[in-house]
Structure 1
């Protein structure tokens, strides 16, 4: 039985689809609303039943262990029970990131798939080593409830991979102790989440061998300076709300301020680090505005100030734009220039090839004359 929340989402989805069909806008502008009917294969049915059974088991287990004032783990029974004709539509921006009212629902549902031990077991030592057929089944479980085009599969699987790694980290934190031998650990704590003792021992050995790497990762995690204080609302959704209210897209400085402000504190910065960053950014913006001629685009000033305070971007990532934002999408001109330096263009290669052919012909003519 679908609850009231999902019924409302379905009504909004259908209303949006009817408006899109009546106006015949299709893919319009930077934000797109995708309405695609995913294929359903008979092979998805048994996996779906296993998945629902797994989520119900985890829901019952969580309800028996939780304390009086805490909620259990999200199992998304309402979304799992959707029929083939009740698909939820997710919107994606120009960078291929999900946003809008359906984004938290998609994120929560993908988390239940990542925690499905029948589909994506913890016995694999790395997300990249999970077989393709299992990943295809996981993707099919998502498209059986959401209308998501295939071109957005990478970002959805990226979200799923991050959720799977978080789940694995949580299991390690609650069930594993590097200071206790494995035989004693079995006597003190049960094997988690229906893993066999052999698989659990393999995991424990793997974690023990990589304890030094884990320590470095924990230290790097504690160095994180910026905190996202908007809960399940991701950066693209904040960006869209800002655009709807102001008619222009926010700069990265404005996105940083939006994501690091607390609702409980009346919109104040979440911590002292956020206050310090805002002060540094405001000072840099004022200094750049004084040096720039009149009529300079404020967005350009904000970008320069942001780079001055936070330094160069990490490889393959863009700060403050959320997961999935690539430098080639955000800075296309700069990306092309940096990647073209030191490489010949197609016309240059053709010219050099012709020159080599002419030299070879001259050498052959000289050999023939001798």
Structure 2
């Protein structure tokens, strides 16, 4: 750390003060009185008398000849530019710079790692890679990770894995910076599959079947454990796991119901509101946080669409294949009914295809009869209006009043026409 200049005071005094100081120093040198004995005068009487300052310049003081040393020995390490000091801000900056330099000197940095890689053709190579070089397009090359007996990554490969994960986590183009919980980051599985698994090779299948058989957990019989291993190693099971992982990655609307089933939530909400709850209302309820905000923009778009549909059409609250949830999400998937949990199927809730077709036919017939009745009612209203007009003209032409029974009949017709 470089030597910091010492703060000193500059001697800026007038000639009068300089003369006084010089006179005082000379008098102290010339007027030295050797120490007296015990019977001599007091120490105060040995001090030189006060002399007023003189206006004429005094000769330069001469070094003492009696060998007494009254000046400090010269400091060979004294900075010749001690009077020229930096500002306080510059002094603080220098202190910080020195501290950072000391940290960098003590810090152990490893920019390159000796790792084992496997090429696309299966060739094993030993390379000297940095984190940035490892993150370049691999072109079929992968870094082979090693694990200990607790399945934890170790070695230089684990170090470069940590660096890659750190750089990916700080890339805001891949991960949003507006999430408080890592579990709510939707892109983490995608980045893991597209980046981490493409850069690293996991030696997961190095245990043989015999080794796995010997690692049987306590409480499981040997035949059951062997059956489980055969089931997990079968191609059908591997294909199912791959398919399930793909389906899980496509799920857009993760709900907030937790372990409580949709059936329980529906019953509790119906009891609270005092009326049946629609599938659309249940969707909105299970896709909001406790503070009332939606989980993400996709859930907000569906929730707002459901609210708009139910506001304009009250019948969309009724359970059907064209209710508010079906209009917002589209056609139902086979084998299950959205918004009703595990158990109900489309045939149980909406009926079979034949029953659905018969219901549709009945609905069309009812609609046709309703239209005919509405047309007949409109025609009857027109006839009644015409009769009222004719009677009024007849009465006015005669200039008389209607009989009481005819007037009562006319009043009843007028009231019905208003209704």
TM-score bracket for this pair, using the shorter chain length: 0.3 to 0.5
Q: Which has the higher contact order (CA 8 A, sep 6+)?
A: 1
Greater radius of gyration (CA): 2
Length-normalised TM-score, structure 2: 0.32
Answer 1 or 2: which has greater helix percent: 1
Length-normalised TM-score, structure 1: 0.35
